[in-house]
Amino acid sequence: MKDIAQRAGVSESAVSFALNDRPGVSEITRDRVRRVAAQLGWRPSTAARALSGEGAATVGLVVARPATTLGVDSFFLQLISGIQEVLAERQLGLLFQMVDDVTAECAVHRRWWAEHRVDGVLVVDPRTDDPRPALLDELGLPGVVIGGLPDRHPNLSEVRADDTGAMAHVVGRLHELGHHRIVHIAGLPSLAHTDRRIRSLRDEAERRGLTGVRSVTTDYSDTEGAAVTRRVLASKAAPTALVYDNDVMAAAGAAVVAGLGLAVPADVSIVSWEDSVLCRMVHPYLTALSRDPVAFGRIAAKELTALLDGGTARSVQVPLPELIERESTAPVHGSRP
């Protein structure tokens, strides 16, 4: 600080004000100090900021999901990569923890707040009846909810995905191909985005007069995805199209179809909600909704850093995912009309 002050021709207190973005110096002085600091190779010390009570220089992320399902979820891994890109640019750390349920997650948030471990949090997997937004309001802890909020909260921004529009698009396309019996093999029933997809499927079916349409919830795993696929295809009015909530279940479902002596897409069409390399490793290649989880993570992290910089809470909606049609979808024909 002394070296910067001498070269910039200002006091050490002016250097402190300028580098910590505090009032007390003119913009001209602030710019000059920052230029000199950059020339001298100065970087902010996150440890010093934490010790001085200016913040933990860390944000938190708690995931309340089974570790076995998270490990094969490509969306989450890419989401975290995007988050980490932005945090690294800001020299912010990411404190990550996995727990069994939302009650345990709330306990972690309380502990982090009491111990001043984090400056803000990222919240994933919004629930239909979610206690976390109210808790973060109570604690005054800034946060970004990835997936959307049911109500506005003063300290919380949201990054919302249009699950309703995406499901409507998928159902519309399958209907164009002649499919009237569609089964949605969904994820965890307690998640808000699962609920939105199920509601959208039902609404679109009613609007189009489709009676053989339904959703079945799972834990996102390949095991349950395969089991449900086997069960619905053995039913009396077997579906001609299957929509899976992730790529892992879709790939497992395609294997089950083949094991039953059926063909994709001649006997049953398959759509994956998530696109990944896995969708292009099975045969036939899987039709999938393509979105950018890394960009999703970047947006969420940028919204959180904006809150930490004193910005106001806001809602951001990511673009509607594109349906990439590959070999696993086709018009209905043959013996399964």
Structural domain range at position 7: 2-43
Tell me: do 297 and 154 sit in the same domain: yes
- The parts of the chain modelled with pLDDT lower than 50 are 46-47, 51, 335-337
Tell me: do 173 and 26 sit in the same domain: no
Report CA dihedral (23, 26, 29, 34) to the nearest 10 degrees.
Answer: 40
C-alpha dist (Å) from residue 173 to 68, 170, 179, 192, 243: 33, 5, 9, 24, 12
Cα–Cα nearest to 6, from 33, 43, 45, 38:
33
What is the domain count for the chain? 3
108 phi and psi, to 5 degrees? Answer: -65, -45
Tell me: do 167 and 157 sit in the same domain: no
Q: What pLDDT score was predicted for residue 84?
A: 96
How do residues 266-298 score in pLDDT, each as one tens digit?
A: 999 999 999 999 999 999 999 999 999 999 999
Q: What pLDDT score was predicted for residue 150?
A: 80
Q: Which CATH number does the domain housing residue 37 bear?
A: 1.10.260.40
Tell me: do 156 and 176 sit in the same domain: no
Interaxial angle between packed helices 27-39 and 12-19, expressed in degrees from 0 to 180 and rounded to the nearest 10:
90
- This prediction has a pTM of 0.80
Distance CA 30, CA 21 (A): 8
How do residues 120-135 score in pLDDT, each as one tens digit?
A: 999 999 998 999 999 9
